[in-house]
A and B are shown apart, each in its own frame.
Chain A
């Protein structure tokens, strides 16, 4: 900074604080709502300070569920979401690593054609091809299974493209040195390419985990059995209890629970994430 006037400094901080508040306020409201009981949440005005029912709400949300509880709660849905997000993240990374490897390092007929075929799937997200995809999944008998939840979401043009760019920055001499050392294609892939793309894999993992965790439309379609619900689907269905007023304290508690895993992933992988997106030294 060349300018050093206190007024500008204060203004800058004000803008920043305003931004933080805008982002944080809804989360604060969710937290506050999760700490009150049902009665308080049905009165107006809504509370702005935390109440004393946090642990109670947590217990109900996790273990009993809504309306006196069917005894199931949302704990298993957290597990479903976790399994789905992990399968999507690992599946996408594995597939795109391999397809990028094939496209960058092997010469085969219509190589660029295949690359563009993969690339144009960017224009066909699940939402666009939802009917045929549902048909295929249903015919394969994968409704209400983890495979049905994840496989249609795994193919990823973005990740393939990203790994392609990463591999293109790796100097050809490394491949040649490896060839002279006697490493075949798979060894080169395992011993050199994957370790060298580690930070990119980590960055991608964070993005894809959150992408998988936040899936709503697809799980809503392929899961009819409550055992296979993901937590994001559950939040929505909690709002749709036709006869009763929504139990905001429990809904917000569930929302908090649903936010937690992505936050944990981001916090723990933050360093790798930043490195993976910014580091260029090879």
Chain B
């Protein structure tokens, strides 16, 4: 068990490309931190720097209070699970798990005990331990890769998109197993993914990365309820948040959305923000069907998606063609061309500055 401290970590490749622009984070002992972002955002690079597979250009990397910048991966007391599992194809499952321990020079009995223990945690049978990796299914290989990490009894687990090679059903199952395993073992874990559902369900905290910069760091619900930037707002949550280019009125109390649609701001708005362009964000579940018709915003329906448990209605307000999504649980009988009376939950709107793309707090 150990904490992991990153202090102004930067990465510049020899060709001058700057992959990571200064990351600061303190990961608590036993915490599950998820690094999430689109491909190419630097999340894997950051993880590989923690693992010691990629040199750190600048900053201080600490694991368990020890500066590890110059240490070899094997000296950092970490274990890593790779996206393609990286099992040694010519070794049996048992030897795959035992290899690192053999190199460490542990006695045979100890190795056997640790491997057997890991196998029972991961529900791998004795028969499977004698097989070669290619004779196993994807899910089983994934377990072996995790077993190889567990037997090392590391202070920190590093996961590099471990579930992306699995089919959807198995992914959900393994996701739960990883969560349970991390809870049981209480080992500090850092998990890289581009899948926001994985990120939301697994992490105690999430770090959203974009172009090598930290967009936001916080618990899943903090990120969901108070996204710090347009990027986070659009990245977290599916279907994505509705974004409407709008304008705050000159008295700062209402916001002009489209055509002649005005929306009163909660608590009467703010005197600091008047007469300016903003981007209004509303999550699909906070765009609701209005019962009364007086203050309803008429939405023209373009596409209806029936998912069974919920219905997604796509449409737009009047002549403003911004595509909007309503998420309504249950089945909603509407069709394209209908005009639905809708209302925006004023307590759940998000405002962003169109130039800096940062959140505006009223």
Residues of A within 8 A of B (CB): 171, 173-174, 176-183, 187, 191-192, 195-196, 198, 281-282
Contacts of B91 in A (CB 8 A): 195
Whether A182 contacts B82 by the Cβ 8 Å rule is no
Q: Please, what's the 1-or-0 string for B71-104, where 1 marks a CB less than 8 Å from any CB in chain A?
A: 0111000111011101111110000000110011
Closest B residue to A191 using CB positions: B99
Q: Please, what's the 1-or-0 string for B45-89, where 1 marks a CB less than 8 Å from any CB in chain A?
A: 000000111000000000000000000111000111011101111
Whether A174 contacts B90 by the Cβ 8 Å rule is no
Q: Counting CB contacts under 8 A, is B134 at the interface?
A: yes
Known: A176-B82, A180-B80. A196 touches B103 (CB 8 A): no
Whether A182 contacts B84 by the Cβ 8 Å rule is no
In the bound complex, how far is the Cα of B83 from the Cα of A173, in angstroms?
9
Closest B residue to A179 using CB positions: B73
Whether A177 contacts B103 by the Cβ 8 Å rule is no
Contacts of B90 in A (CB 8 A): 192, 195-196, 198
Residues of B within 8 A of A (CB): 51-53, 72-74, 78-80, 82-84, 86-91, 99-100, 103-104, 134, 148
Can you list 15 pairs linking A and B with CB atoms under 8 Å apart? A176-B73, A176-B82, A177-B80, A177-B82, A177-B87, A177-B88, A179-B52, A179-B53, A180-B53, A180-B100, A182-B100, A187-B103, A195-B91, A281-B134, A282-B89
In the bound complex, how far is the Cα of B240 from the Cα of A194, in angstroms?
50
Whether A174 contacts B86 by the Cβ 8 Å rule is yes
Whether A182 contacts B104 by the Cβ 8 Å rule is yes
Whether A176 contacts B88 by the Cβ 8 Å rule is no
Whether A173 contacts B86 by the Cβ 8 Å rule is yes
Whether B104 contacts A174 by the Cβ 8 Å rule is no
Contacts of B82 in A (CB 8 A): 173, 176-177
Contacts of A183 in B (CB 8 A): 74, 99, 103
A271 CB to nearest chain B CB (Å): 17
Would you list the 6 A-B pairs with minimal beta carbon distance, nearest first?
A: A182-B74, A181-B100, A173-B86, A177-B86, A195-B90, A182-B103
B52 CB to nearest chain A CB (Å): 8
Closest A residue to B104 using CB positions: A182
Interface centre among A173, A174, A180, A198 (most CB of B within 10 A): A180
B95 CB to nearest chain A CB (Å): 10
Contacts of B74 in A (CB 8 A): 179-183
Contacts of B78 in A (CB 8 A): 180
Contacts of B52 in A (CB 8 A): 179
Contacts of B89 in A (CB 8 A): 196, 282
In the bound complex, how far is the Cα of B89 from the Cα of A180, in angstroms?
17
B153 CB to nearest chain A CB (Å): 13
Closest B residue to A197 using CB positions: B90
Whether A171 contacts B53 by the Cβ 8 Å rule is no
Interface centre among B51, B53, B134 (most CB of A within 10 A): B53
Interface centre among A174, A179, A181, A281 (most CB of B within 10 A): A181
Known: A181-B74, A182-B74, A281-B134. A176 touches B100 (CB 8 A): no
In the bound complex, how far is the Cα of B84 from the Cα of A153, in angstroms?
41
Whether A171 contacts B86 by the Cβ 8 Å rule is yes
Whether A181 contacts B53 by the Cβ 8 Å rule is no
Residue in A180, A192, A198 whose CB lies within 8 Å of B88: A192
Residue in A171, A173, A178, A180 whose CB lies within 8 Å of B79: A180
Contacts of A171 in B (CB 8 A): 84, 86
Interface centre among A177, A183, A198, A281 (most CB of B within 10 A): A177
Whether A176 contacts B53 by the Cβ 8 Å rule is yes
B287 CB to nearest chain A CB (Å): 44
In the bound complex, how far is the Cα of B79 from the Cα of A250, in angstroms?
68
B137 CB to nearest chain A CB (Å): 16
Whether B103 contacts A181 by the Cβ 8 Å rule is yes
Contacts of A179 in B (CB 8 A): 52-53, 72-74
Contacts of A198 in B (CB 8 A): 90
Contacts of A187 in B (CB 8 A): 103
In the bound complex, how far is the Cα of B340 from the Cα of A236, in angstroms?
99
A100 CB to nearest chain B CB (Å): 18
Contacts of A181 in B (CB 8 A): 74, 99-100, 103, 148
In the bound complex, how far is the Cα of B100 from the Cα of A176, in angstroms?
12
What would 9 more interface pairs be, CB under 8 Å, given A174-B86, A177-B87? Answer: A173-B82, A176-B73, A178-B99, A179-B72, A180-B79, A181-B99, A181-B103, A183-B74, A192-B88
Contacts of A173 in B (CB 8 A): 82-84, 86
Residue in A180, A191, A282 whose CB lies within 8 Å of B73: A180
Contacts of B83 in A (CB 8 A): 173
In the bound complex, how far is the Cα of B96 from the Cα of A174, in angstroms?
11
Contacts of B103 in A (CB 8 A): 181-183, 187
In the bound complex, how far is the Cα of B241 from the Cα of A261, in angstroms?
74
A20 CB to nearest chain B CB (Å): 37
Contacts of B99 in A (CB 8 A): 178, 181, 183, 191
Interface centre among B52, B82, B91, B104 (most CB of A within 10 A): B82
